[in-house]
Chain A
Amino acid sequence: MKSKPTFGLLFFFLLGLLPFVAALIYALLYSLGIVGILSEGASISYWRQVFQSGELIGSFLYSALLAGIGVALSVSLALLVSMGLRTSLQHRFWSLLIYFPLAIPGMVASFLSIQLLSKAGFFSRISMKMGWIDSLQQFPDWINDSYGIGIILTFVLIVSPFFVILFSNVYQNERVSELSTLAYSLGARSNQVFWKVTLPILFSKTKRIMILYFIFLLGSYEIPLVLGQESPQMLSVLIIRELKQFDLKLIPEGYVIAVAYTVVIAVSALLVFRRREVQVHE
């Protein structure tokens, strides 16, 4: 059984990593005009063009902001629900029901958001009926809006149910209730128990998954495609727009953005995790 870990890591490398590396190399070659059937020879002009336009930076900041807010709101909401209603959620009925929202994918969620939240949507009609608004133009702008409100709301709708389940699971797995009882018996108040015991345990066990979901949202495609604006656009929307554009000669620009984005995320992830590793080894 000694050889197991290396063997496993090899497998992981082959299936988890190799395709990614292959995809990245292909994208890099394409962005430099080295491959591609319409390529006119190697050139860095596509890179220059993308960086001169400034759209990439804008899109990156916009995506990071929306993804960050999305994760933060989802985690807070999930904490509130999973800890606030913890005893109730252990009931058979609720323990099943909280799984249901996981069955709603991004595309369906954005479809729902439009049907419910747009100016002619269900909620707008109800507001009209109730006499809160006189015309549909008065209903707040939530879909394809300038602040990405529709996108963020839908992110929360998609992500928070998962965290509710995760937190409940980790709470049990890490026997937080026993630790809490211990803390209570040592004279801690419930506020203290939550902030000093429960929260740190939950966060330390799930921080990786939070980062994963941040990356998910950063690269999410369907939700911002349907609910976003034409400018700025989130990264995947921008990349696919460039890859599928009418002018086939400019397709390499899409690969430039894909490569640039991946490298930035990869490097920052490496830096974040490196620092953590040092702390772990102390």
Chain B
Amino acid sequence: MVKTLVIKLCVFFLFVIWGCSNQSSIQQTDISDWSSIDSLSRNTTVHFMMWQGSPAVNKYINSYLIPEVKKRFNIDLQISGGQGPEIVQLLMGEKQADVRSGQVDMVWINGETFFQLRQIDGLWGPFADQLPNARYIDFDDPYIGIDFQQPINGMEAPWGNTQFALVYDSIKLPNPPRTLDELSQFVKNSPGTFTISNDFSGMSMLKSMLAELGGSPTSLNGPFEEQKYQTLSTQLWDWINSHNPYFWKKGETFPREHTKMDQMFASGELLISYGFNEGGIEDKVIQGLFPTSTRGYAWKNGTVHNSNYLGITYNSPNRTGALQVINFMLSPEAQLVKMDVNGMNSNTVLEIDRLPEEWREKFEQATQRQYGPTMKSLAPYSIQEPAPEYMLRLFEDFRKNVIEK
């Protein structure tokens, strides 16, 4: 009885190992010959790893992108769930285990993950500027061609464009704070309703504050300078620690993620929230999570403006398929659907002036947002993403000088 069971199990595990050790070799890819890419990519499967936490994004992918690439190129687009850290963890693991034919072909990343993937040579390229639809993209735009103060050099293709915005309820808070001085006044008047999340969003808020202390929207541009960081960050920690008692939970702890802040904003515990995608206001109001009086705005000295990108993994087993899909995702039709205010509502990375006449009109006539701020209204208040070292140090020092104090 026992023995037969063991034998069955052994057979099972052998089957398991046999069943998945068939690895294909990676083909050579020449992007300049698009017609061969086009034919090679047909009837293949592409694995796309992306963040799946928003129904609006999932809807765009599931009911538009997947059927479209199936119809046009007969490509089977498979989505795997995973965002920044998971993508980095997977590719580091695959490098370590010397996996030639990776699990994933393409990834959706932001500047933070791009910086990490560059460190481990996790991406394949350059490819972005050679895509047919790249002609509609202005790679000289510093908010597209430069990611975390480093040129992207074709290693990732821009997909969406976003600015960091603060979120408030215009009924409860008619005049939200736009500077450190105003914020100081605000937290003293309404203690416990403002906080800083200990993640990407919170650090982006700190960057805005740091830039203000630096005296201008461009004060953090250029390579990392230790001296400048030391001076400014000392002032920043002093400011935060002197206002800590007026923060959420008296500044004894901070939310781990900005989603938590959004939840507390939705339930009324916080009066101010913030985040990328211009605060993510539109869909949350439509979903009934935020009140209809919710509005967004930028810091007076500016908030970070950046892009998110699509990359191809260094060990992608189907590069041509990934190229085909990415090229389609940058096409005017795919970008227009992506802009839909009732759908994914994401700003296009295409340069409208470069589009053919018919598309230009469609983009210009697209419905405007009802609640969230437009990119145009925030544009005067944008700052570039500072060098990655600022992020590294802010994370480290925020923990050391504020959280663990």
Contacts and interface: CB of A to CB of B under 8 A. Distances in A.
Contacts of B119: 38, 248
Contacts of A121: 267
A37 B92 contact: yes
Interface string A165-202: 00000000000000000000000000000000000000
Given A7-B3, A229-B253, A230-B198, A36 B96 contact: yes
A247 B396 CA distance: 9
Interface string A236-249: 00000001111110
Interface in B44-98: 85, 88-89, 92, 95-96
**Interface range on chain B: under 10, 10 to 19, 20 to 34, or 35 or more?**
20 to 34
A7 B2 CA distance: 9
B269 interface: yes
B126 interface: no
B255 to A, nearest CB: 7
Given A144-B253, A244-B89, A120 B267 contact: yes
B115 to A, nearest CB: 8
A248 B120 contact: yes
Given A7-B3, A146-B252, A230-B253, A119 B269 contact: yes
Contacts of A136: 268-269
A35 interface: yes
Contact of A146 (B2, B253, B254, B256): B253
Contact of B96 (A35, A120, A145, A229): A35
B8 interface: no
Interface string B377-405: 00000000000000110011001000110
Nearest to A11: B6
29 contacts: A7-B3, A8-B2, A37-B120, A118-B264, A120-B264, A120-B267, A121-B267, A137-B191, A137-B192, A141-B249, A144-B255, A146-B253, A225-B256, A229-B252, A230-B198, A230-B253, A230-B399, A230-B403, A231-B403, A231-B404, A244-B85, A244-B89, A245-B395, A246-B112, A246-B391, A246-B395, A247-B392, A247-B396, A248-B88
A1 to B, nearest CB: 9
Contacts of B255: 144
Interface in A61-114: 114
Contact of B116 (A137, A145, A248): A248
Nearest to A36: B96
A106 to B, nearest CB: 16
Given A121-B267, A246-B112, A230 B3 contact: no
A246 B2 contact: no
Given A37-B92, A37-B95, A230-B256, 13 more contacts: A7-B2, A38-B119, A38-B120, A114-B263, A144-B255, A229-B253, A230-B403, A231-B399, A231-B404, A244-B89, A246-B116, A247-B392, A247-B395
Contacts of B264: 118, 120
Contacts of A129: none
Interface string B1-28: 0110010000000000000000000000
A4 interface: yes
Interface in A227-274: 229-231, 243-248
Contacts of B88: 244, 248
Contacts of A246: 112, 116, 391-392, 395
Interface string A36-60: 1110000000000000000100000
A67 B3 CA distance: 40
Instruction: Sort chain A's interface into a size bin.
Output: 20 to 34
A230 B401 CA distance: 13
Interface string B243-269: 000000100111110000001100111
Nearest to B269: A120
Contacts of B396: 247
Contacts of B267: 118, 120-121
Contacts of A137: 191-192
Nearest to B395: A246
Contacts of A114: 263
Contacts of A11: 6
Contacts of A245: 395
Nearest to A247: B392
B271 to A, nearest CB: 12
* Shortest Cβ-Cβ A-B pairs, 3 listed: A120-B267, A244-B85, A229-B253
Contacts of A243: 89
Nearest to A54: B404
Interface string A125-159: 00000000000110001001110000000000000
A144 to B, nearest CB: 5
A137 to B, nearest CB: 6
Contacts of B92: 36-37, 248
Interface in B196-220: 198
